[in-house]
Amino acid sequence: MSYKEEKYTRRRLTGSYITSIVSTSLVLFVLGLFGLVVLNAGKLSELIKENIGFEIIMKEGVKEANIIQLRKSLDVNPHVKSTQYITKEEATKRLAADLGEDFIQWLGKDENPLLPSIEVKFKASWANNDSLDRVEKRLLENKDVKEVYYQKSLVHLINQNIKRIGIILFFFSILLLIISIALINNTIRLSIYARRFLIRSMQLVGATEGFIRKPFVIKSIIQGMIGAIVALLLLSGVLYLSLENIPELMQLQDYNTILMLYGAVLVLGMVLTGLSTFFAMGKYLKTRTDKLFV
C-alpha cells in the first residue's frame, strides 16, 4: 500500500471514529435529556400531590390546647408531611389579603365569623380520594372538629392526569430507547464496515475470532464511554442553564437521582457500543472475501 493510500485509509478511519463518537453522544444526550424530563415529571407530580389542600375546621369555642393536641397526633402520622395551626386572627389576615380589604372593620372585632383550623399536607402516596376519605371519617368522629374541607374533584383530576401522563411517558421512553439502540447499532455497523478488510487480513494470518473481536470491542467500549461523557457534559450544560433561568426548578432536583441517571447513561453508552460491536463483528468474520467488496 502506497503512502497516499495509507494516509487516505487512516483519515477515513479517523473520520469514521469521530463520526461514531458524535453520533453516540447525540443519541445518549437525547436519551439522558428525556430521562431528566421523566425524573422531574415524577418529582413535579409528587410536589403537586403534597400541596393539595386539606383543612380541618374546628368548632367555635374549642380550647387551643385541644387543637394543639390534635395537631400533634397528626404530626406523628407517617403519612402526614406537615401541619399548620391557623388561628382565627391568622385566618382573618389571610382572607383580608385575598379580598384586598379588612372586612372585620365592618363587622366589629367581636363578630369574627372565621374559625380556627389545621392545614394538613399529606405525602404523595397518601394524596388520593380513598385515603383522604378514611382520614376525613376518622377526624369527624372528634367532637372538636366541625368539618373537613378538601376539593375531592380536584384530587381525583390531579391523580387521573398524573396517571395518564405517566403511561404516555413510559411508552415514549420504551420507544426512544428502541430508536436509540437502533441508531447506535447502525453507527457501529458502519464503523466496522470501514474496517472489514483489516478483519479479513487478521483472519488470513491465523488470528482466532476471539483475538480479532477483543480489541474492537474494547475500543468500542472506550468510544461509548467518551460519547457518554460528552453527552453528560451537554446534559450538565442544559441543566445549569435551566436552573439559572428558572430558579423554581431547584426544588425539583434530587442530586442523588441525577447522579444515578448520569451513571445509567455512562453504563448504557459502554454496554450498547460494546454489544453492537460484538454482534456486528460476527457478520464480517463469516463473510467470504469476494463479498467484502459489495
- 230-241: average pLDDT: 89
Indicate whether 109 pLDDT > 80: no
The answer on pLDDT for 257 being more than 80 is: yes
User: Residues with Cβ < 8 Å from 22, sequence gap 6 or more?
Assistant: 227
Is the model's pLDDT at 188 over the cut of 70? yes
Same domain, 43 and 173: yes
Same domain for 123 and 163, yes or no, is no
Same domain, 207 and 256: yes
Do 214 and 238 reside in the same domain of the chain? yes
C-alpha cell at 174: 420504551
> Cβ distance 112 to 88 under 8 Å?
yes
Are 283 and 165 in the same domain? yes
| CA distances from residue 279 to 196, 231, 275 in whole angstroms, order as listed | 14, 24, 6
Domain that holds residue 251: 3-47+158-293
Is the domain of 141 the same as that of 179? no
Q: Which of 125, 150, 175 is the last residue in one of the domains?
A: 150
Mean of pLDDT values over 216-233 = 89
Q: What is the pLDDT of residue 232?
A: 92
What's residue 4's pLDDT? 54
pLDDT number for residue 104:
56
Domain closes at, from 132, 150, 168 = 150
pLDDT-derived band at 266, boundaries 50, 70, 90: very high
What number is the average pLDDT over the span 91-120? 66
Do 173 and 280 have their domain in common? yes
Confidence class of residue 13 from pLDDT cuts 50, 70 and 90?
low
| Residue-wise DSSP of 250-281 | GGG--HHHHHHHHHHHHHHHHHHHHHHHHHHH
Domain boundary residue among 109, 131, 150?
150
Residue 271 has pLDDT above 70, yes or no: yes
Mean pLDDT over 134-148 rounds to 88
Q: Minimum mean pLDDT among 14-23, 94-103, 174-183, 218-227: which range?
A: 94-103
166-192: average pLDDT: 81
Does residue 36 have a pLDDT over 60? yes
Residue 120 has pLDDT above 50, yes or no: yes
Mean pLDDT for the stretch of residues 237-247: 83
Q: Tell me if 283 sits within 8 A of 42, measured CB to CB.
A: no
- Residue 164 shares a structural domain with residue 216: yes
Indicate if 34 and 58 belong to the same structural domain: no
pLDDT at 291 over 70: no
Q: What is the mean pLDDT of the chain?
A: 79
Answer yes or no: do 169 and 282 share one domain.
Answer: yes
Greater confidence, 44 or 241? Answer: 241
- Angle, vertex CA 179, rays to CA 274 and CA 196, nearest 5: 40
Give the predicted TM-score (pTM) of the model. Answer: 0.67
For 265, the grid coordinates are: 447513561
Q: What is the pLDDT of residue 12?
A: 59
72 and 198: one domain?
no
Q: Quote the pLDDT of residue 77.
A: 87
Residues 144 and 164 placed together within one structural domain of the fold: no
Structural domain tally of the chain? Answer: 2
Closest CA to 280 of 225, 217, 235: 217
Q: What's the pLDDT score for residue 229?
A: 92
Domain with 103 in it: what CATH number? 3.30.70.3040
pLDDT for the residue numbered 1? 47
